[in-house]
Amino acid sequence: MTSRAFRQPCGYPLGKTTTLPGVFPSMTPRRRTSLPLGVLALTFFLPMADSCGDAVSPLRFLADERSFFKDLWLVPTFLTAAVLAVASCRSWRAKPVPAAARWATVSLVATLPVLAVLFAADSWPTAALYGGATVAAWLLLRRARRGGDAGRPTALLEVYVVAALPLVIQIFGLAKYFGAYLFLGAYAMLASECVAAAFARRVEAARGARIAAALPAPVRAQVYVEEELARFDEALDEYVSLRAAAR
């Protein structure tokens, strides 16, 4: 596969191999994101709030209520966290991102407009919250697809953080037991990681743009070719993986 390091022509005074930050951005998110994701999934079984004077977990709440609306409200957020946690435990350098992680994230986003409509009958502020999360999450997905980053792990994490925000706010209002506080703390940790990663990418891209602009025209052209070849490699890897999964 194509190397992400740029090899300059002989005699160019940059050394033997120079990596251009921002020209070939890293596809690997920080492995420590698996910890908050795992905790988010685990809290599905831990007591969070009161129900008729008893401390109940989301699992027990759903078992007692047996309502499709409540299943749709709670299950996707915790299930997607579990899928992303499992995916983050494997090597994120392997492309493409597991299909299960992509489908789980997209499915979570797809539930948001449904919940916005269902909550509209009882609480317009909550419905507006879910509506805003719907728009923001779909914009993130669209931007990732246009930029060729739909399979980037951090893109999925950013979408998840936005899509889970309405439930996080609701749990914050109901929090009474340690399960809820673990959930909120894990979400805050994951969100801070995503914000830090996004900021680092912007800084890296700006630095890479300055470096690339300072290079001679033939060198910039070679960098562009290397970047396009890297994108082609990623698309080819994803195509091969999808064909293998279809079989």
Q: Measured between alpha carbons, how far is residue 131 from residues 59, 60, 116, 159 in Å?
A: 26, 28, 6, 14
pTM of this prediction?
A: 0.71
For residue 219, the model assigns a pLDDT of 62
For residue 245, the model assigns a pLDDT of 58
pLDDT reading at 170 higher than 90 = yes
Listed by start position, the domains of the chain span 31-246
Phi–psi pair at 220, nearest 5 degrees: -60, -40
31-73 pLDDT, tens digit each: 568 889 999 999 999 999 887 778 889 999 998 878 888 899 9
- Report the alpha-carbon distance of residue 109 to residue 138 in Å, rounded: 7
For residue 34, which of 77, 76, 82, 80 has the smallest C-alpha distance?
82
For residue 24, which of 185, 243, 207, 242 has the smallest C-alpha distance?
207
Q: Which residues contact 204 (CB under 8 A, 6 or more apart)?
A: 21, 22, 25
pLDDT reading at 80 higher than 70 = yes
For residue 98, which of 228, 232, 3, 237 has the smallest C-alpha distance?
237
What average pLDDT does this structure show over 107-112? 95
- In terms of phi and psi (left: phi > 0; alpha: psi -120 to 50; beta: otherwise), the region of 225 is alpha
For residue 92, the model assigns a pLDDT of 52
**End-to-end alpha-carbon separation of the chain, Å?**
24
Q: Measured between alpha carbons, how far is residue 146 from residues 143, 174, 224, 232 in Å?
A: 5, 38, 18, 15
For residue 43, the model assigns a pLDDT of 95
